[in-house]
């Protein structure tokens, strides 16, 4: 499957693969700025691949831009929840984060749930759900209307059980995806979290680049974010980037960050 995809990509856009190879070569030769620019060009062309996002994260980390590095590692994990490189790099990056959340372990339920639900095979499970569900009803109809053989009943029951299991997995994956759609990363070096969506509102605390937050609400120019330990505040919209950008997964564009606008 993977080689087929790679071949398809090569046939569709050989220049994209060439640009990716050029960017990698630039990175390995120490020209990190050029590598990052080339990888970003691929992203702006609409290519979304966990390898591309992981490399981009590594490039930004080498440049000291911890927020953008965390953002792209998170995106790599969104695209492939089992990406071990992205997970290890993100863990390494978080060790150096400025923000240390008190009580994260006790109240970080959303973070834990997202981490547990992320690897669920939602795509396959939803397809299986549709197939098994349909098959179960067809077998049931055969049994009821055509006086089909006895195994039709057994097969229908098995299909219903499989559909139920698939539905549970799909539900979990959908819940994880919903959490992922709310995830965002602080990309500004330091930003005050205020009580309201306004520059004159009282600042309650500060958050720093690389910290992962959950976007709960949006107002023009501001986003209401919640940290893993429950701390909540309003920050300028441009200071946090959604892990799943508008345009991926067909989510509506609620607020346009400068990078998204570019």
Partner 1 sequence: MSTRIGRALGLALCLSLPALAAGEVELSATTDAGEVALDGTLLLRISATYSSRGEDGELKLPTFADFEVTGEPSRAEQMSFTFSNGSPSFRRTVTTSIALTPRRTGDLTIEAVKLVARGKTLQTPPIHVRVVPAGQVRGGRSSPDPFDRPADVDPFADVHPGQRDLILRATVDNEHPFVGQQITYSLYLLARANVSSIEKLQLPRLDGFWSEDVEAPQQLVPEQRILDGVPYTAYLLRRRALFALRPGKASIEAAEVQVLTGFGMLFSRGTSRRSSQALRLDVQPLPPGKPPGFDSGNVGQWALTATAEPLAIAVGQPVTFRLVASGKGNVRDLHLPGLGALPGVRAYDPTTTDKESIERGQVNGTRTVEQLLVPERTGSVEIPALTMEIFDPYQKQYRTLHTSPIAVQVLAGQSGAVASVPVAQNLLGGGGLRPIRLRMASVQRATPPWSEPWFWPALALPPVGVALALGLAGVRRALRVDPGDRRVRLARSAAEKRLRGARALLQRGESVAFYAEIARAVTGYLADKQGVAAAGLTREELAAALAAKGHGEETVRRLVRILDDCDRARFAPGSSDAPVRETMLGRAEQVINELDRGRA
Restricted to residues 181-240, the positions that interact with partner 1 (CB under 8 A) are none
Interatomic CA distance for residues 96 and 144, integer angstroms: 64
Query: What is the DSSP annotation of 75-104?
Result: HHHHH-TT-HHHHHHHHHHHHT-S---TTH
To which H or E segment does residue 68 belong? helix 66-79
- Nearest of 75, 89, 262 to residue 185 by alpha carbon: 75
Does residue 160 belong to the site contacting partner 1 (CB under 8 A)? no
Binding residue for partner 1 (CB under 8 A) from 36, 140, 240, 242?
Answer: 140
Q: How far apart are CA 66 and CA 53, in angstroms?
A: 14
Using CB under 8 A, which of the segments 99-107, 172-180, 193-201, 212-220 binds partner 1? 172-180
Taking the least distance from each CB to partner 1, the nearer of 17 and 41 is: 17
**Phi and psi, residue 29, nearest 5°:** -90, 0
Query: Please, what is the minimum distance in Å from the beta carbon of residue 184 to partner 1?
Result: 20
**For the CA atoms of the chain, what is the radius of gyration?**
22
Closer CB to partner 1, residue 42 or residue 237?
42
- 139 or 237: whose CB is closer to partner 1? 139
Tokens linked to 239: 């200071």
State the nearest-atom distance from the C-beta of 212 to partner 1, in Å.
Answer: 19
The number of angstroms, rounded, from the C-alpha of 140 to the middle of its chain's C-alpha atoms is 39
With contact defined as beta carbons under 8 Å apart, do 185 and 212 qualify? yes
Q: Does 127 bind partner 1 (CB under 8 A)?
A: yes
Residues 39-98 that bind partner 1 (CB under 8 A): 46-52, 54-55, 58-59, 61-62, 79-80, 85, 88-89, 92
Record the tokens describing residue 13, joined without a space: 């856009």
Considering only 105, 154, 249, 254, the residue that binds partner 1 (CB under 8 A) is 249
Which residues contact partner 1 (rule: CB under 8 A)?
A: 2, 5-6, 9, 17, 20-21, 24, 27-28, 46-52, 54-55, 58-59, 61-62, 79-80, 85, 88-89, 92, 122-123, 126-127, 129-130, 133-134, 136-138, 140-141, 144-145, 170, 173-174, 177, 248-250
């Amino acid at each position: 499957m993977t080689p087929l995809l790679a071949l398809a990509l090569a046939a569709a856009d050989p220049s994209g693969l060439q640009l990716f190879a050029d960017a990698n070569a630039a990175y390995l030769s120490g020209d990190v700025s050029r590598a990052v620019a080339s990888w970003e060009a691929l992203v702006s062309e609409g290519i979304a691949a966990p390898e591309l996002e992981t490399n981009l994260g590594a490039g930004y980390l080498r440049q000291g831009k911890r927020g953008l590095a965390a953002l792209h590692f998170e995106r790599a994990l969104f695209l492939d929840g089992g990406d071990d490189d992205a997970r290890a790099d993100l863990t390494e990056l978080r060790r150096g984060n400025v923000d240390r959340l008190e009580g994260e372990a006790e109240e970080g339920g959303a973070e834990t749930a997202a981490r547990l639900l992320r690897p669920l095979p939602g795509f396959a499970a939803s397809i299986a759900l549709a197939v098994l569900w349909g098959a179960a009803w067809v077998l049931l109809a055969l049994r009821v209307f055509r006086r089909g053989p006895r195994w039709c009943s057994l097969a229908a029951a098995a299909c219903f059980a499989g559909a139920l299991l698939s539905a549970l997995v799909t539900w979990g994956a959908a819940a994880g995806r919903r959490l992922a759609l709310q995830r965002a990363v602080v990309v500004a070096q330091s930003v005050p979290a205020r009580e309201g969506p306004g520059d004159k509102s009282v600042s309650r605390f500060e958050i720093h680049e690389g910290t992962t937050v959950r976007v709960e609400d949006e107002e023009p120019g501001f986003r209401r974010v919640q940290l893993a330990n429950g701390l909540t505040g309003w920050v300028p919209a441009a200071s946090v980037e959604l892990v799943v950008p508008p345009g991926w997964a067909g989510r509506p564009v609620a607020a346009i960050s400068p990078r998204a606008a570019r």
